[in-house]
Structure 1
């Protein structure tokens, strides 16, 4: 099948890539296959997006929130109608299984519908004023032009999670999808465009960050930047934008831990941890990568995790039998393998997995379980972002909580226990933005505030009503009558 050529969205128009300036999107399940050719935009073309966004922001802010909601719900409807095509492209460019990709497409439409509902909610309030014949109120307003930088692991869902609140609030958006996975974001842009989004309100900057990053971040019209990606890049972004009147939101890395206590339902714990660790090939910011287990049940739990890892069916995402697809690229697989090599060098035991299948041309890796992990090892501290789980043995509840909190990251944590006191105390003491009891570290719905502490993110939350705080400012108005 020949690779399709995908145009770019500029000022409400779709433009074909210039000859000779395209990027190849390759299938991680078979690197010989070029899925699509997408534009490799220049800094001058990004400036054109901002020109259009500056005009679009004024018109969009003046629109009724009810009209904005019509566009979002229309786009949600189109995403659902086009779900088969979108799912196929998600599988092809990122390597997810069809079930994972279909779930992402559905959840992305849910984000648009959810934030459309805010059109009928209050966007201000009345306040008392001590002066006679004076009314006092507050109102929320859009910021203007916002830049959204999104990752390759959830290439449709993360743009939808950011775009929906930004648009319902009345902002114009310049979206920068990951170079590895731009097709999904372009599907989202097309749905919004076809649903009636005015020209300029959304522009998509497709290209390598090295070539267009300065143009994206240095433009004086940028009012806010929302970023999802690695902690190293996120911290660099915060430093770069410091001192400017630019609001910054960062959703960064994680080293999520699940504690399994001696009284846990071990069958539930093992199956849940395995799904959270190996699902989406471990390429989720909320994936479980550390297992903290009480010594009394460590042997039984570890054996169950080994069995679950070996039961994973590694293969291309388009195969219905596949449960674990490829890693996103050969370079990323090499990085994951280097983490495993270092872990073994430092004394951890590779109990199963971590193998590259001999056949095929994809970026496959069998899910790995590491035992004998101590809190001095790099595998305990560093984000791997692959199907790797590190098992650390503790004695008792207090030691388990201490181990869970022994991380610079603070995104998600979970505990498995049948003790109500331990469940509530764990929720209070875990230093993470999301805490689950007898549930996975993954899987947070559109209306639930999402975001981490420490090296996992900035104070601004995503999802839920909290997300709108980032994309709006508050104005206080006094009127003497």
Structure 2
């Protein structure tokens, strides 16, 4: 078992308390341990971030860009080592982990480019001999809280733009998957990020919540996770003037119309549903099919799902990795059992995979359910596992109605050969991401990402939209006449 240090004030530190990190493919032996920081350590992290911000905000944007570019290079150079750690603590396949590490580097590169660009707009002014412009400034010290499902790419998505804009950060990685975020911190540190600009708080969130959320120096919080925690953060902020960016839950739907290429749709939906064992914010969890092709598509979908091979992420033959923890595995199985009690039919899967060495891991077979009513919990609540719900509808209008029958609004897809139907779907689907004949994914670094309704807040991630969260606008008028 490796002992990892965390980053505070430009130094790698340890404490007397530790948290063990386990491999969900075999939870018997810890693979690493990280420091369990105390509330006093959190306060110190904010002290350091405050000093780091005072320096970093005045650092040339070209120097900021250099740090991000060099950090991206280091992530790529260390890709194999990083991917191995992502797989070891999260469980996803090495192919998925390598993709995550590469995409994290892409985020750093992209925002290095944005750091070099203009930061304001010249405006007309009605007053004579006066020029007015706007400028964007960093907002200060931002708390970054990232989840366990994408433990490297999510902090990269959050940290890269706020650092490019000149902010400082206190970063809290998920307790279950801290090593991945520490790789990102090490790359930034080794690239020359000044001391205190980034501080990593490892530890048990329940013990640190008050110190993390209540510090008066926080100017913004960016959080990815459950709606229950997101709501708790909102309530905790109360009347404080603190920005909150939340990427929360989803119950993403894919629609298969009667004219679709059914085989292609089945292949793409299985990829969208069962990649990372369904532990993606954008994973498809509801499939809505026009009735004339429902039976044929169901057969194709089940056949495609049953080709998946469960196993550890280190095995090249694995196409369905374990869930992230015993708790997550048990939660998914409980959701399936509840669905069956509420009338659902299991078409395939629906149980843990405990064969051989998999008995020591967190495996759930790919699961497809039918006969689910809109009143059932599994139609409405996020499962976050390898579970799909099938539903038949009569026509396009009913399909769109079923997509929008949710408190969430993150992602949706439609499969059709009808260009008019595709455009109508994009118009009428109440969600932040729409796909046509492809998977419900998070897409690329330069594309704005975020959901509607209970799936998120008004601040988007990715692209230049994210700068609305991490910068403030100042208007400056200059009179140059006599």
> Hey, what does 1:10 align to over in structure 2?
8
Residue matched to 1:446: 445
Distance 1:245 1:395 in 2: 48
What's the offset of the Cα at 1:357? 2.2
* Aligned residues of 2:442 and 2:449 also touching (Cα < 8 A): no
Q: Which residue of 2 aligns with 1:471?
A: 470
Tell me how far apart the structure 1 counterparts of residues 96 and 164 of structure 2 sit (CA, whole Å). 27
Give the Cα–Cα distance (whole angstroms) in 2 for the partners of residues 97 and 129 of structure 1. 57
For the Cα contact (< 8 Å) 1:97–1:323, is it kept in 2?
yes
Give me the whole-angstrom Cα distance separating, in 1, the residues matched to 2:454 and 2:126: 45
Residue 68 of structure 1 is matched in structure 2 by 64
> What CA distance in whole angstroms lies between the structure 1 residues aligned with 2:477 and 2:464?
26
Deviation by residue 1:382-423 (Cα, 9 ceiling, x = unmatched): 100000000011001100010011000000000001111100
Q: What is the SS of the residue equivalent to 2:30? A: strand
**Residue in 2 aligned with 1:42?**
38
- Correspondence for 2:374: 375
Give the Å deviation of 1:380: 0.3
Tell me the distance in 2 between the aligned counterparts of 1:4 and 1:446: 32
Q: Distance in 1 between matches of 2:310 and 2:427?
A: 38
2:396 aligned partner: 397
User: Which residues in structure 2 correspond to 1:306-325 (within 5 Å)?
Assistant: 306-325=302-321
User: Counterparts of 2:438 and 2:477 in 1: how far apart (Å)?
Assistant: 49
In structure 2, what is the equivalent of residue 101 of structure 1? 97
- Please tell me whether the aligned partners of residues 309 and 353 of structure 1 are also in contact (alpha carbons under 8 angstroms): no
- Any runs of at least 4 consecutive aligned residues in structure 1 with deviations exceeding 6 A, and if so which? none
Q: CA RMSD in A?
A: 0.8
CA positional deviation for 1:304: 1.3
Q: Counterparts in 2 of 1:62-461, with a 5 A limit?
A: 62-358=58-354, 359=356, 360-461=359-460
Q: Deviations over 1:70-125 (max 9, x none)?
A: 00000000000000100000000000001100000000000000000012211011
Query: Which string of whole-angstrom CA distances, capped at 9 and with x for unpartnered residues, describes residues 291-347 of structure 1?
Result: 000111111111111112211100000001000110000011110011100110011
- Note the C-alpha offset of 1:214: 0.9
Q: Per-residue deviation at 1:11?
A: 0.5
**1:443 CA drift (Å):** 4.0
CA-CA distance at 1:132 after TM superposition: 2.1
Once residues 373 and 356 of structure 1 are traced to their aligned partners in structure 2, the CA distance between those partners, rounded to angstroms, is 21
Give the number of equivalent residue pairs. 477
- Aligned residues of 2:333 and 2:352 also touching (Cα < 8 A): no
Q: Within the alignment, does 1:52 sit opposite 2:52 as a pair?
A: no
Secondary structure of the corresponding residue to residue 62 of structure 2: helix
- Aligned partners of 1:132, 1:294: CA distance in 2, in Å? 64
Q: Is the contact between residue 145 and residue 223 of structure 1 (CA under 8 Å) also seen in structure 2?
A: yes
Unaligned ranges ≥5, structure 2:
none
Separation in 2, partners of 1:473, 1:24: 40
TM-score (norm 2): 0.98
Q: Tell me the secondary structure at the aligned position of residue 135 of structure 1.
A: strand
Aligned mates of 1:229, 1:131 — CA distance in 2:
49
Q: CA deviation at 1:33?
A: 2.1
Once residues 242 and 185 of structure 1 are traced to their aligned partners in structure 2, the CA distance between those partners, rounded to angstroms, is 29
Distance 1:337 1:362 in 2: 14
Distance 1:298 1:66 in 2: 56
Normalising by structure 1, what TM-score? 0.98
Contact 2:352–2:363, Cα closer than 8 Å, also in 1: yes
Q: What is the rounded CA distance, in whole Å, between the counterparts of 2:101 and 2:187 in structure 1?
A: 12
CA contact (8 A) 1:256 1:413 kept: yes
